[in-house]
Chains A and B, each alone.
Chain A
């Protein structure tokens, strides 16, 4: 058993020791602590076996109001002229109350009624009401219930039922000290302890040769919540470090772009269903009017219409500048890589961006309107599908996903187009992670790029769900403070 006592516990024990036992309220008064402090300390003391807590319930009767039949008798008695029923009814609060009083008084034979058109009430046997009167006085004076006679108890039961008397129960808690408690409170034990180390005690050297009073080191401490970075930010940090370690340079850019860079430059035809308002956020009433069909814009437009000089048939439709000018929230981050490509035209480069993309979606457990993608491109002579596979395998291995496969799929801007799937140990199945491929000549040549470009744009949320053991993507951005404060820092990693 722990002998370490909190100062509050000690105070209670020393107040209790001379008394042996005391009601809870008396203990509060004797220690000048507040009710919560005493209650909490008593819990600790009980669990240590230093005090015992007992309780009793006591009933007390209280008169709610005078029985109306007695009221009626008094009114009849006080009346100077013979009292009529109509007059008496008017003196009561309600006709129902009068009827009840009248019925009881007449039924008990205390009163009688005489006369025809205006009947008059007369007292007959006022002494018959005496037992009730004396009981009412007894209750009002606080006579204990156990002292009532059998007859009185029967009357009480009736009055309780009628709500004229009510029973009030009081609970008393009595605290008693145990022998163990007495020993713990004995003054010899607390003789020469330092309660709290202070700068003064340190400076004066008072601490020498003395001990600090033991405290209850098992007691609960207050709950504290440290400040924390968002788990998505930490995961993004991890992805960025992997990219940089593999020779990639990070891009940063706007979320709003003309449709030209988000779609046209990626050889996505203007009537492609993915460009519908159903899937894409277009900004109301805003357009990039500086965009005109010249330079790179003209080359991209021709690639759409007839393939330009790329060797392609093109999509075979009439390309419109108005459609390209509309402003969109980027639907993928490849828009950043493509703009960088068109500006730098470097023959050998590796760039990446981990940032938000936007889709016009209804939110559910696996769809968000805003989420993160970790797009990258690799530009260089001689790069091919095998390098794409090699890069992705290494990249995902570094992110903790060792088993990654590629399946053929379709995107308008890559050929071949490959879907990245990873084996989830948690779900025991292959999970889609995102798209990848080799940019089509219809994409690269209008930008002035003559060497192969490998590109990929997988999301991060699915990887995070696997890592955190979550099933609903909305949890990540739901800002539930309890999750953000309490989640384990090393969860899943």
Chain B
């Protein structure tokens, strides 16, 4: 979750109240306090509320909730006369651009920090790591309109941000961090987008890097914002958030005419979002019986307005999709902590799942037999599952891009996990008797079959096949009232001649035996180990 740092001397002035009230109310606009000290508070916000990505936006919402500044914020824009021509060759690469201008700015260091942090969060969130949306902030005084958003070949050269000599598109993509991190968005395209002005100065190579000439500093009084995107709506959403934030920072907003071959659009379009206001729906979701007047007051505290039968939300609220979202705004404006709980008594009795009950009873029986129950991870690694037993790994069920190789494949048996348990406890007192009831995964032709197993291992100097079989028979007799038959068999975990298959009514259930010395050695366990593993899902089916 992205984080905003609220500097308290600044923020208390912006909100018009003290530290205690701020800390108390922040959770009620959906912000998690990550940490706080005497000077600042760090809050996490949800990426679906990018309007809360700066202290400007958070202050705007808090003033509403506290009732000091309520209702729909208004944003005026004036045409600037600046034009951007869009090259049709970009339609397959990054077709859309939306721009705006903010003038009359007087930014300090903290203002710039907040804006840069918002830009970064928008790139990662709505911008899907710059794949769908990318943002450029420029000093308008370094720009000579009109501008063009055009396609260039990979040999095209310009002076990128922070460099001392021009580079080609190709070398930027292969030699810079940004090029390598984001260059994949172009796929195999041979056309690349750049934004340049009438003098040919390159302002930006989206979504990779800006030009050097137009960088923003605290001296910037007039700012130009470009937003390029793969879809028009996402670009408009991002621009609306930036423009309204700049307005909160004291900027006067100006529109830019974006000329496509078939149409011209003035951006930004900050007209509010309109949704039906369904009073019945609002009251039924929140569980209150609020009159229209009070619902309007609640919406005003949530910085929304009402026009006739419609609720209107500011353009920066990109999360309003359905009339039910209006209900939530009413709940927040009313105050979640003021809505009293009502316990809904149950009309029908509840019920345990019989298979879960079966598994639970197996655990009770095994513990009664003197075993310690373990609960290990279902995702494991190749050494534990295959290599230590010297068995082929052709039937592995692996997961894509695991963060850790220790959790890179799904287990098909429990004995390896239990061996790993013994391996981690060689310093504990012996005898060690452990069992696990767990889910296992077997590869099928085009999927995976899940079944629940019971695995059990006994480790001490006298451990033997007979002891393992004794526990196996006891478990089946007590849990299921069944006698099991054992027949000599071979299995990758057990020594030949000391291993049997387990059957009930001619259905194979699993294996029992003495663990191969090679496996005991590979796991670093210094005592003989015997044990068994049975398929509880199958056993349960046989019982039904």
Closest Cβ neighbor of A416 among chain B residues:
B328
Contact A307 B439 (CB under 8 A): no
A409 to chain B, nearest CB (A): 5
A395 to chain B, nearest CB (A): 10
The residue from A246, A358, A419, A478 contacting B379, defined by CB atoms under 8 A apart: A358
Closest Cβ neighbor of B447 among chain A residues:
A286
Contact B344 A390 (CB under 8 A): yes
Closest Cβ neighbor of A358 among chain B residues:
B379
In the bound complex, what is the Cα–Cα distance between A416 and B333 (angstroms)? 12
B175 at the interface (CB under 8 A from A): no
A425 at the interface (CB under 8 A from B): no
In the bound complex, what is the Cα–Cα distance between A394 and B346 (angstroms)? 12
Closest Cβ neighbor of B273 among chain A residues:
A313
B92 at the interface (CB under 8 A from A): no
The residue from A271, A378, A452 contacting B132, defined by CB atoms under 8 A apart: A271
Contact A409 B399 (CB under 8 A): no
Q: Write out the residue numbers on chain A whose beta carbons fall within 8 Å of the beta carbon of B399.
A: 281-284, 329, 360
A170 to chain B, nearest CB (A): 35
A124 at the interface (CB under 8 A from B): no
Given contacts A288-B447, A363-B404, A415-B324, contact A252 B439 (CB under 8 A): no
In the bound complex, what is the Cα–Cα distance between A145 and B69 (angstroms)? 103
The residue from A227, A392, A405 contacting B337, defined by CB atoms under 8 A apart: A405
Q: Write out the residue numbers on chain A whose beta carbons fall within 8 Å of the beta carbon of B46.
A: 409-410
Q: Write out the residue numbers on chain A whose beta carbons fall within 8 Å of the beta carbon of B410.
A: 283, 329
Given contacts A227-B372, A250-B352, contact A314 B321 (CB under 8 A): yes
Contact A391 B344 (CB under 8 A): yes
B328, B369, B371 — most chain A CB neighbours (10 Å): B328
Contact A408 B424 (CB under 8 A): no
In the bound complex, what is the Cα–Cα distance between A129 and B404 (angstroms)? 77
Given contacts A230-B363, A405-B337, contact A313 B321 (CB under 8 A): yes
Q: Write out the residue numbers on chain B whose beta carbons fall within 8 Å of the beta carbon of A199.
A: none
B447 to chain A, nearest CB (A): 6
Contact B322 A229 (CB under 8 A): no
A485 at the interface (CB under 8 A from B): yes
A375 to chain B, nearest CB (A): 14
B403 at the interface (CB under 8 A from A): yes
Closest Cβ neighbor of B406 among chain A residues:
A363
- Interface stretch, picked from A112-120, A135-143, A434-442, is A434-442
B425 at the interface (CB under 8 A from A): yes
Closest Cβ neighbor of A412 among chain B residues:
B48
Closest Cβ neighbor of A254 among chain B residues:
B450
Contact B346 A247 (CB under 8 A): yes
Contact with A along B159-184 (1 / 0, CB 8 A): 00000000000000000000000000
In the bound complex, what is the Cα–Cα distance between A116 and B436 (angstroms)? 90
Q: Write out the residue numbers on chain B whose beta carbons fall within 8 Å of the beta carbon of A317.
A: 231
Contact A362 B403 (CB under 8 A): yes
Contact B340 A256 (CB under 8 A): no
The residue from A245, A316, A356, A369 contacting B407, defined by CB atoms under 8 A apart: A369
A150 to chain B, nearest CB (A): 56
Closest Cβ neighbor of A277 among chain B residues:
B401
- Interface stretch, picked from B186-194, B283-291, B480-488, B525-533, is B283-291
Q: Write out the residue numbers on chain B whose beta carbons fall within 8 Å of the beta carbon of A477.
A: 375-377
Q: How many residues of A contact B (CB 8 A)?
A: 99
In the bound complex, what is the Cα–Cα distance between A103 and B321 (angstroms)? 106
Q: Write out the residue numbers on chain A whose beta carbons fall within 8 Å of the beta carbon of B463.
A: none
The residue from B319, B349, B366, B439 contacting A227, defined by CB atoms under 8 A apart: B366
B110 at the interface (CB under 8 A from A): no
B491 at the interface (CB under 8 A from A): no
Q: Write out the residue numbers on chain B whose beta carbons fall within 8 Å of the beta carbon of A482.
A: 425, 428
Contact with B along A356-386 (1 / 0, CB 8 A): 1010111100000110000000101011111
Contact A360 B327 (CB under 8 A): no
Q: Write out the residue numbers on chain A whose beta carbons fall within 8 Å of the beta carbon of B434.
A: 479, 481
- Interface stretch, picked from A151-159, A213-221, A232-240, is A232-240
Closest Cβ neighbor of B231 among chain A residues:
A317
Contact B339 A386 (CB under 8 A): yes
Near B by CB (< 8 A), chain A positions 35-69 give none
In the bound complex, what is the Cα–Cα distance between A439 and B401 (angstroms)? 31
Contact A378 B344 (CB under 8 A): yes
The residue from B366, B374, B400, B407 contacting A479, defined by CB atoms under 8 A apart: B374
A83 to chain B, nearest CB (A): 60
Q: Write out the residue numbers on chain B whose beta carbons fall within 8 Å of the beta carbon of A287.
A: 446
B495 at the interface (CB under 8 A from A): no
B364 at the interface (CB under 8 A from A): yes
Q: Write out the residue numbers on chain A whose beta carbons fall within 8 Å of the beta carbon of B287.
A: 384-387
A407 at the interface (CB under 8 A from B): yes
Q: Write out the residue numbers on chain B whose beta carbons fall within 8 Å of the beta carbon of A408.
A: 27-30, 328, 331-332, 336
A370 to chain B, nearest CB (A): 5
Q: Write out the residue numbers on chain A whose beta carbons fall within 8 Å of the beta carbon of B83.
A: none
Q: Write out the residue numbers on chain A whose beta carbons fall within 8 Å of the beta carbon of B319.
A: 410
Q: Write out the residue numbers on chain A whose beta carbons fall within 8 Å of the beta carbon of B28.
A: 407-408
Contact A384 B285 (CB under 8 A): yes
Near B by CB (< 8 A), chain A positions 255-292 give 255-256, 271, 273, 277-278, 281-284, 286-289
B298 to chain A, nearest CB (A): 13
In the bound complex, what is the Cα–Cα distance between A441 and B275 (angstroms)? 15
In the bound complex, what is the Cα–Cα distance between A62 and B427 (angstroms)? 42
A410 to chain B, nearest CB (A): 4
In the bound complex, what is the Cα–Cα distance between A455 and B345 (angstroms)? 16
Contact A387 B233 (CB under 8 A): no
Contact A244 B375 (CB under 8 A): no
| 24 CB < 8 A contacts A-B | A230-B363, A232-B375, A233-B360, A237-B360, A240-B356, A248-B346, A249-B351, A250-B350, A281-B399, A281-B402, A282-B400, A356-B378, A358-B378, A362-B404, A382-B284, A383-B344, A386-B286, A387-B343, A405-B337, A408-B27, A415-B325, A478-B424, A481-B425, A485-B428
Q: A residues touching B (Cβ–Cβ < 8 Å)?
A: 223, 225-230, 232-233, 237, 240, 243-252, 254-256, 271, 273, 277-278, 281-284, 286-289, 307, 310-317, 327, 329, 348, 350, 356, 358, 360-363, 369-370, 378, 380, 382-387, 389-394, 405-410, 412, 415-419, 421, 432, 438, 440-442, 452, 476-482, 484-485
**What are the nearest 6 A-B pairs in CB distance?**
A247-B346, A384-B287, A386-B287, A389-B341, A390-B343, A250-B353
